[in-house]
């Protein structure tokens, strides 16, 4: 393809604006400019999308489908420009036309189709797979409203609907010709057909039309464009049927809104419908596509892999069985052999409250045929395994138990691979959460530590650091993430360390400017440590530990002892609307901010900023400017974490407990380049007689800090302060905040000491950047492709 020139682009872009809006570029607004550019990019990659599809089909390439109820793609304009290699031409042309590229970028809505790490991981995997020319497709739900927009009123979280589709979505293509019917409810029974085959009959079902919307996933400068498919629920178009208003609402509701709960399993009927809607539409469309090129489904596993991302899409297993048996007339054994070879499953959590279980009668009523098949999976599992492993163990881990469908067990039993998302997490799955099934199927279990895409977190979010790395490493690291290791040789080079410091400074200045403009808070990028904790708000992640430390610093300043280094504590987090305690923590932090930021005795020594509406775009602003990355969950609770990797790649120093992927980060950078603290998993496990009261009673300093929750030191938290105080003392501090407090304070002191020696600090930052390459999602997804799905791909540059 001939290289695009600036005049050519300008010509085409002006035409696009004319065609779309019948206007001149100079009269268009930012949203129109954005839409025109997105549509221009879509046209630009359309031939690649077509060629990629044709290659997969004509060459019978094995394709994997990543089923997930959440995705967080982030804005796509800049990544698509980068991946298509047109950033320079486009930005130059836009500038020449007098357009403000920052405004154009900001006009794109950031699709919030997920809650947190799990959803973002799915999108990073799609990006990486395309970069490796790996046939991986996304399959999810096109929620009309994404995760709520968060703002604060009097320090309280307020949730507003996220109407992200209001101005249309330039990237998607509606494919009504690929729609499928998904059946809910009614009655079902088996009866012989004219050939003597047992086939299911249905009556009184509610049928829903699943319409796919496809978006291209552009590979990094390699002409691969994969497909990310989101399904929307609509009324079937049968002219013979008329629907009541209520029926219309029931159907539309299915894909109307994302459940805003991540760590708590949400057991509502509508959520169950969403799950079945996603898997039924997804599996049907895969089978239909496969059918176009194959006479039978007997060897489907040779060219199709379906990945179940957490348990939400686990009904893909009985759905596949249904299609193979009821529609393809396979025997159970034949269908089961294919299904288990096609399916694989990732577990993302260790928290018991997020392990999904559905009441059996709810499943039986909502998806009766699927329930029958789950019953049969359960019956056969018990029959086969009880003689070998005994009734007790088998009862404990069968798909049906306690009147519920246990989704994680169903997922393990119906898949050939089960993985955790960090070494410790996989170990704990094997030893604890899934131990009975591990005993039965040890070979299925494997670890795939999460990863991140350097394209978004370095190349897009941190151009200054990217520029520096390119200078030192000739840009190869963009294709071969492990090559970032090369900067390690500059870890003792004072000139380089100065340059690195300048990069960080520049990013801190940029963030300070945004904080000033948006939150009306002045922070000092010159002297202060930017100490960042950005992630969902959850008690196990212990934002409270960080908040108590700020109170401690505040009290120190008020007692006349200045901080050795000024601090800016930056939080960003959404709390599930129904998670009362998490919302109280938000209020607490906002009131601490209010008190500290307005106290003249404090000045620039201490600032607290709670950035509202945390999402991918907000993370892109904050991560490049972070000095300290707070990863302080109670050991054994965070499956992996991924902001830890993003922050490290941007040269932040991790302040960490030995939890999730923090352990692997510590291994990679070495103990001199990370600051760790707190109890280990084994210590937490061995702590059988924990008494938070005893710790409190024996520590005067801690008493003063904790009492600030109830003694008026922080105003306006009468109720919240008391509740949080009680959670720590009366309810014995479930997440061991007080037990780890002293060790956390020491770790924070160490941070302050290290920061005062810039050469030491930036040398640590340099090592962190250097070692971040191993956490590239390019490498992670290559492992999924090799070990689990058996896909072909380009080499990830590993020399």
Active site residues: 348, 535-536, 541, 642, 646
Distance (Å, rounded) from C-alpha 420 to C-alpha 531? 29
Minimum distance from residue 433 beta carbon to ligand CRA (Å): 12
Query: Exactly one of 344, 613, 640, 657 binds ligand CRA (CB under 6 A); which one?
Result: 640
The residues that bridge with 607 in the sheet, in sequence order, are: 568
Distance (Å, rounded) from C-alpha 440 to C-alpha 11? 64
- Which span sits near ligand CRA by CB under 6 A: 141-149, 395-403, 523-531, 632-640? 632-640
Q: Does 349 bind ligand CRA (CB under 6 A)?
A: yes
Q: Does 354 bind ligand CRA (CB under 6 A)?
A: yes
CB closer to ligand CRA out of 116 and 318: 116
Three-state SS for 636?
coil
Q: What pairing do the DSSP bridges indicate for beta strands 136-141 and 225-234?
A: parallel
Distance (Å, rounded) from C-alpha 437 to C-alpha 451? 26
Q: Does 466 bind ligand CRA (CB under 6 A)?
A: no
Distance (Å, rounded) from C-alpha 234 to C-alpha 277? 11
The residues that bridge with 141 in the sheet, in sequence order, are: 231
CB closer to ligand CRA out of 118 and 286: 118
Q: Does 116 bind ligand CRA (CB under 6 A)?
A: yes
Three-state SS for 184?
strand
- Which span sits near ligand CRA by CB under 6 A: 203-211, 589-597, 637-645, 726-734? 637-645
Q: Does 631 bind ligand CRA (CB under 6 A)?
A: no
CB closer to ligand CRA out of 99 and 121: 121
Q: Does 638 bind ligand CRA (CB under 6 A)?
A: yes
Q: Does 656 bind ligand CRA (CB under 6 A)?
A: no
CB closer to ligand CRA out of 84 and 639: 639
Q: Does 774 bind ligand CRA (CB under 6 A)?
A: no
The residue count for binding ligand CRA (CB under 6 A) is: 18
Three-state SS for 635?
coil
Q: DSSP per residue over 481-506, as a string?
A: GGGGGGGGGGTT-HHHHHHHHHHHHH
Cβ distance 374 to 399 under 8 Å?
yes
Query: Which pair of structure tokens corresponds to residue 559?
Result: 């007692």
Q: Is 85 exposed, middle or buried (0-12, 13-18, 19+ CB in 10 A)?
A: middle
The 329-348 contact track toward ligand CRA, x by CB under 6 A, reads: -------------------x
CB closer to ligand CRA out of 69 and 89: 69
Query: Exactly one of 118, 338, 702, 708 binds ligand CRA (CB under 6 A); which one?
Result: 118
Minimum distance from residue 415 beta carbon to ligand CRA (Å): 17
- Which span sits near ligand CRA by CB under 6 A: 293-301, 509-517, 636-644, 728-736? 636-644
Minimum distance from residue 454 beta carbon to ligand CRA (Å): 17
- Which span sits near ligand CRA by CB under 6 A: 116-124, 399-407, 501-509, 616-624? 116-124
Distance (Å, rounded) from C-alpha 524 to C-alpha 207? 59
The CA distances from residue 441 to 220, 352, 538, 783, in Å, are: 38, 21, 33, 21
CB closer to ligand CRA out of 264 and 404: 264
Minimum distance from residue 447 beta carbon to ligand CRA (Å): 12
Minimum distance from residue 261 beta carbon to ligand CRA (Å): 9
Q: Does 124 bind ligand CRA (CB under 6 A)?
A: no
Q: Does 368 bind ligand CRA (CB under 6 A)?
A: no
Q: Does 453 bind ligand CRA (CB under 6 A)?
A: no
Minimum distance from residue 775 beta carbon to ligand CRA (Å): 12
CB closer to ligand CRA out of 349 and 676: 349
Distance (Å, rounded) from C-alpha 728 to C-alpha 159? 27
CB closer to ligand CRA out of 81 and 351: 351
Distance (Å, rounded) from C-alpha 85 to C-alpha 505? 28
Distance (Å, rounded) from C-alpha 705 to C-alpha 721? 12
Q: DSSP per residue over 62-127, as a string?
A: -EEEEE-S-------HHHHHHHHT-HHHHHHHHHHTT--HHHHHHTS-----SSSHHHHHHHHHHH
- Which span sits near ligand CRA by CB under 6 A: 201-209, 472-480, 638-646, 771-779? 638-646
Minimum distance from residue 660 beta carbon to ligand CRA (Å): 5
CB closer to ligand CRA out of 587 and 646: 646
Q: Which residues contact 784 (CB under 8 A, 6 or more apart)?
A: 64, 125, 307, 448
Cβ distance 231 to 207 under 8 Å?
no
Three-state SS for 357?
strand
CB closer to ligand CRA out of 451 and 566: 451
Nearest residue to 69 (alpha-carbon basis) of 252, 260, 227: 260
Q: Does 658 bind ligand CRA (CB under 6 A)?
A: no
Three-state SS for 609?
strand
- Which span sits near ligand CRA by CB under 6 A: 102-110, 113-121, 320-328, 471-479? 113-121
How far is Cα of residue 115 from the mean position of the Cα atoms in its chain?
A: 7
Q: Does 644 bind ligand CRA (CB under 6 A)?
A: no
Assign residue 716 a region: left if phi > 0, alpha if psi is -120 to 50, beta otherwise?
A: left
Distance (Å, rounded) from C-alpha 31 to C-alpha 189? 53
Minimum distance from residue 163 beta carbon to ligand CRA (Å): 24
Q: Which residues contact 195 (CB under 8 A, 6 or more apart)?
A: none
Q: DSSP per residue over 191-238, as a string?
A: EE-TTS-EEEEEES-EEEEEEEEEEEEE-SSSS-EEEEEEEEEE----
- Which span sits near ligand CRA by CB under 6 A: 438-446, 639-647, 676-684, 730-738? 639-647
Query: Exactly one of 109, 117, 135, 140 binds ligand CRA (CB under 6 A); which one?
Result: 117
Q: Does 450 bind ligand CRA (CB under 6 A)?
A: yes
Cβ distance 293 to 333 under 8 Å?
no
- Which span sits near ligand CRA by CB under 6 A: 114-122, 154-162, 524-532, 548-556? 114-122
The closest residue (CB) to ligand CRA is 117
Q: Does 224 bind ligand CRA (CB under 6 A)?
A: no
Q: Does 449 bind ligand CRA (CB under 6 A)?
A: no
Q: Does 52 bind ligand CRA (CB under 6 A)?
A: no
E strand residue ranges, 504-582: 529-534, 567-572
Distance (Å, rounded) from C-alpha 551 to C-alpha 704? 9
Minimum distance from residue 62 beta carbon to ligand CRA (Å): 24
Q: What pairing do the DSSP bridges indicate for beta strands 529-534 and 180-184?
A: unpaired
Minimum distance from residue 307 beta carbon to ligand CRA (Å): 13
Q: Does 121 bind ligand CRA (CB under 6 A)?
A: yes
Minimum distance from residue 643 beta carbon to ligand CRA (Å): 8
Query: Exactly one of 310, 378, 591, 723 binds ligand CRA (CB under 6 A); which one?
Result: 310
CB closer to ligand CRA out of 318 and 641: 641
Query: Exactly one of 262, 378, 499, 531 binds ligand CRA (CB under 6 A); which one?
Result: 262
Query: Which pair of structure tokens corresponds to residue 148?
Result: 């709520």
Q: Does 122 bind ligand CRA (CB under 6 A)?
A: no
Query: Which pair of structure tokens corresponds to residue 408?
Result: 């994680």
CB closer to ligand CRA out of 619 and 639: 639
Minimum distance from residue 583 beta carbon to ligand CRA (Å): 18
Residue found under tokens 């319409």: 211
Cβ distance 455 to 478 under 8 Å?
yes
Q: Does 660 bind ligand CRA (CB under 6 A)?
A: yes
* Site for ligand CRA, rule CB under 6 A: 116-118, 121, 262-263, 310, 348-349, 354, 421, 450, 638-642, 660
């Amino acid at each position: 393809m001939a290289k695009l020139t600036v005049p050519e682009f300008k010509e085409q872009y002006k035409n696009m604006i004319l065609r779309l809006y019948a206007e001149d570029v100079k009269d268009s607004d930012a949203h129109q400019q954005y839409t025109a550019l997105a549509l221009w990019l879509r046209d630009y990659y359309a031939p690649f999308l077509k060629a990629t599809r044709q290659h997969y089909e004509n060459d019978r390439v094995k394709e994997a489908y990543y089923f997930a109820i959440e995705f967080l793609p982030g804005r796509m304009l800049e990544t698509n420009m980068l991946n298509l290699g047109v950033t320079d031409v486009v930005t130059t042309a836009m500038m020449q036309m007098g357009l403000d590229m920052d405004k154009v970028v900001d006009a794109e809505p950031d699709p919030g189709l997920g809650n947190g790490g799990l959803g973002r991981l799915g999108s990073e995997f799609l990006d990486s797979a395309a970069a490796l020319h790996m046939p991986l497709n996304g399959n999810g739900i096109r929620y009309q409203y994404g995760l709520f927009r968060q703002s604060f009123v009097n320090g309280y979280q307020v949730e507003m609907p996220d109407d992200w589709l209001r101005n249309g979505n330039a990237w998607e293509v509606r494919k009504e010709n690929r729609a499928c019917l998904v059946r809910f409810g009614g009655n079902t029974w088996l009866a012989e057909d004219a050939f003597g085959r047992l086939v299911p009959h249905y009556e009184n079902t509610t049928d829903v039309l699943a319409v796919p919307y496809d978006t291209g996933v552009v590979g990094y400068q390699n002409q691969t464009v994969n497909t990310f498919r989101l399904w929307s629920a609509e009324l079937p178009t049968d002219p013979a049927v008329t629907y009541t208003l209520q029926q219309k609402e029931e159907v539309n509701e299915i894909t109307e809104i994302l459940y805003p709960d991540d760590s708590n399993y949400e057991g509502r009927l509508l959520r169950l419908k969403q799950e079945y809607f996603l898997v039924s539409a997804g599996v049907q469309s895969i089978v239909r596509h496969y059918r176009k090129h194959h006479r039978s489904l007997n060897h489907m596993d040779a060219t199709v892999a379906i990945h179940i991302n957490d348990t939400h899409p686990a009904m893909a297993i009985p759905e596949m069985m249904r299609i193979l048996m009821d529609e393809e007339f396979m025997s159970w054994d034949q269908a089961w052999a294919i299904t288990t070879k096609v399916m694989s499953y990732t577990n993302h959590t260790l928290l018991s409250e997020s392990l999904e279980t559905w009441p059996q009668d709810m499943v039986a009523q909502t998806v009766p045929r699927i329930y029958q098949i789950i019953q049969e999976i359960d019956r056969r599992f018990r029959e086969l395994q009880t003689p070998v492993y005994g009734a007790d163990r088998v009862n404990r881990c069968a798909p049906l138990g306690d009147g519920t469908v246990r989704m994680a067990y169903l997922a393990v039993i119906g898949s050939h691979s089960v993985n955790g998302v960090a070494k410790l997490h996989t170990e704990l799955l094997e030893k604890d959460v899934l131990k009975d099934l591990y005993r039965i199927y040890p070979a299925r279990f494997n670890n795939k530590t999460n990863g991140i895409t350097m394209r978004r977190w370095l190349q897009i979010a941190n151009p200054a650091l990217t520029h520096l790395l390119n200078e030192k490493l000739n840009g190869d690291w963009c294709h071969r993430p492990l090559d970032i290791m090369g900067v390690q040789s500059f870890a003792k080079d004072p000139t380089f360390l100065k340059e690195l410091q300048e990069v960080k400074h520049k990013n801190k200045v940029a963030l300070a400017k945004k904080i000033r403009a948006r939150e009306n808070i002045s922070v000092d990028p010159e002297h202060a440590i930017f100490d960042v904790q950005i992630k969902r708000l959850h008690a196990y992640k212990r934002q409270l530990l960080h908040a108590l430390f700020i109170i401690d610093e505040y009290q120190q300043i008020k007692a006349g002892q200045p901080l050795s280094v000024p601090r800016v504590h930056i939080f960003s987090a959404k709390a599930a609307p129904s998670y009362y305690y998490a919302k109280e923590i938000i209020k607490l932090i906002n009131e601490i901010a209010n008190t500290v930021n307005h106290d003249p005795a404090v000045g620039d020594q201490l600032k607290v900023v709670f950035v509202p509406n945390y999402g991918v775009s907000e993370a892109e602003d904050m991560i490049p400017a972070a000095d300290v990355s707070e990863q302080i969950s109670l050991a054994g609770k965070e499956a992996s974490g991924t902001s830890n990797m993003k922050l490290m790649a941007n040269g932040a120093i991790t302040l960490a407990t030995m939890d999730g992927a923090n352990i692997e980060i510590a291994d990679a950078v070495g103990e001199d380049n990370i600051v760790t603290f707190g109890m280990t998993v084994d210590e937490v496990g061995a702590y059988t007689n924990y008494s938070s009261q005893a710790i409190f009673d024996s520590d005067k300093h801690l008493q003063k800090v904790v009492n600030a929750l109830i003694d008026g030191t922080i105003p306006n938290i009468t109720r919240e302060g008391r509740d949080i105080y009680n959670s720590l003392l009366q309810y014995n501090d479930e997440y061991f905040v007080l037990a780890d407090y002293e060790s956390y304070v020491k770790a924070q002191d160490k941070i302050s000491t290290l920061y005062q020696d810039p050469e030491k600090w930036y040398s640590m930052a340099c090592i962190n950047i250097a070692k971040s390459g191993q956490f590239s999602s390019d490498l992670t997804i290559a492992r999924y492709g090799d070990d689990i799905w058996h896909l072909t791909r380009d080499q990830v540059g590993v020399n």
